Structure 1
């Protein structure tokens, strides 16, 4: 009888009935949230250990960000880039300062930021480096995840993302992630950029080998090639620094940003670079109706100001060590590998025990939401507002799942 009164089953059925099946979500239907906690339509609470793939770094409904959104909703939400609005300059200036770059180009989604970076790199290659027309090439890494547009999936090595979406866009060379020698060997006179995730999130929070990112920076500089860092998931405090590249004191030529930049309220992305790179664009050559809109800028400016204090980065670093200790304590007790950088973890479960999907379903039953990726790997990326006790709780629930 109690099950007949629950709203979740019918809501799940309706969602399955009326949407294309391009996702396989857990059967939970969220209706409200605050901080690190979610509540479903039946009143059950869950600890959020995914944080919208890092889009919710500051937690659900952070009061500063919600206030900024409410105030802007009462004033102005959209002008298009045909005009300048009063939130635009502050956002661009403050984000440029956070990145240590001259200029910012605001867009909406992470995939748009990646597409923008590709277009800028190609145009820079033709206009500045002198590559012959139509010959520009960009080096990428296997296991990458940069989005799902037709151009981006053209250089994906994930068959689910790529298969049956051809013909594919040329102009990309794929090399093994972490293999500096292979990357250097792939560079030729037509190479305009190297596009990498400093940490590969979708692949399972795969950390780069020590010295790899500095090596990429050196090779790019020596060969007059742009280094594009996709920090859409890894950036903005997730790993304990503002950018994951900072862990090895690397500064790329272009930052690709998104997810957390919108504070979990609106989609906001951006490319940040110096004027000698982003300056190749001229009016009419690239744009977006909603990119840099007033509502997005009002929220994202407050995101930048939260990060400018350094508090969230420090919190991520400190709590990340607690998460690491807890997870490493489960090695040999159902876990075969753990990779942690800040509050971002890739956890490999013994495949003889269960798949990653099964682990996430069992965690859900215990009030913790996480997301699986390939095979028996799950990812943990809680909001940076999570407390030490809540981290311990999440680890304890994972331990219980592994123990059966």
Structure 2
């Protein structure tokens, strides 16, 4: 398993800053000068630091990990590395899935990104959003599609556990994850119908390309998809997490879901995509502070009960990898203390303005 995290680039005072190009140029210069903290390993998935769609963002990625402890160490190292690189350009990185301030994002000056901005207009212009993408290794595309289809019921619960974007463009959005609402405007984003097998997946994605609606295969933005770069399933549903431990939790849960998918019988009654879309909306709206849609019954249930269903579903897989006790501890902490969205709302209730929310989040990002 591995995790990619997207971060906002901000001034030390907490305002979004369009300096991704300068950060990456400084990183290359530091590496050329022999700075060991800037060294990169091209064999690591995604490299150490990467650009994203806008100049106000930066992405990190972990190497493949087999142990949750190693994954957490890699996440913390990646966050520290990104923040140190940003500091060289007079900025910081912060793990918020949306900026609370009113801001106009700056698309990176590259042909593909500029073309997306031209074709998709306001949808593209609003995409100053930061996600957490979990990769889990699979043997081949057939196994990968089995995992993708199995994940369908549970992706909304993963979103609820990661919610970290209550504020957007200077306003309280009324959601715990407004990032997911902005991201959902892309034509291919969100839940899918079951694919059945690798050929079914290929036919579906080719039909999207043939429609002429998206520019290329990189714009297939399903909640869970086969990675075009690695032999993995990539789960893209989550907000970037304020706490690195919660990103590691997502990694452990996605791996456990994948392990369960490989050994489980095919779903005899797969839920319709319409219900999954409703479940995702409800997870974005309520987070862990209200009812969610039960992935097994399709009925409303308290978030703690729904999280408990997920835990019960993957407990054998977590037990087999030795992760069950650690996952139980993190789930209990989230249910008791809330997600990043809950913490941001507490800061606001204490009197923090937009910039102060970001400044407080800076400390949590590297904690």
TM-score (norm 1): 0.26
TM-score (norm 2): 0.28
Q: Report the structure, 1 or 2, having the larger helix content.
A: 2
